[in-house]
Amino acid sequence: MSLHEEVELLRNIPLFCKIEPSKLKLLAFTSERLSYQDDQILFNQGDAGDAAYIIMSGAAAILIDTESGPIEVARLKKGDVVGEIAILCDVPRTATVTAKDSLTTLKVTKDTFFRLVTEFPQIAVEIMRELAGRLERTNTQLREAHSRKAS
């Protein structure tokens, strides 16, 4: 994927859509491009959070450790962002993320991510929307699981 293609992809992500193209070009240029094979781990639940990852191609599974083993709680696709909770909240990784098929990401360091949020407050609003959506989906899953257990 060329730098121009990466910038175009970033422009289509709600988190970054209001950022001027020159800043997106700098973000793409300064971020590390990483490739993963099927089932390769990006990071493990409990790891320290040092970066967020933007899915450039492929898919990734979000896995949560449970007493009966890991369960998949979400599947990410091109344009999704993962890993931002650990760097925003300064907490260990809340889930394990693994590649599905072949996966390409842009790894955005904690410092770069915070610089973007500081310079473009609308990114913070988009992050809040995304996290609120995730919380709602989690609450729905918990309600459904509780209903099944009670039956």
The domains of the chain, with CATH numbers, are 3-150 (2.60.120.10)
Higher pLDDT, 36 or 89: 36
* pLDDT above 90 as % of the chain: 39
Residues 22-78: tens digit of each pLDDT: 888 888 888 999 999 999 999 999 999 889 999 999 999 999 998 999 999 889 999
Task: Please compute the mean of the pLDDT values over residues 74-88 and round it to a whole number.
Answer: 87
Output the pTM of the full model: 0.82
Which residues make Cβ contacts (< 8 Å) with residue 80, sequence separation at least 6? Answer: 54, 55, 60
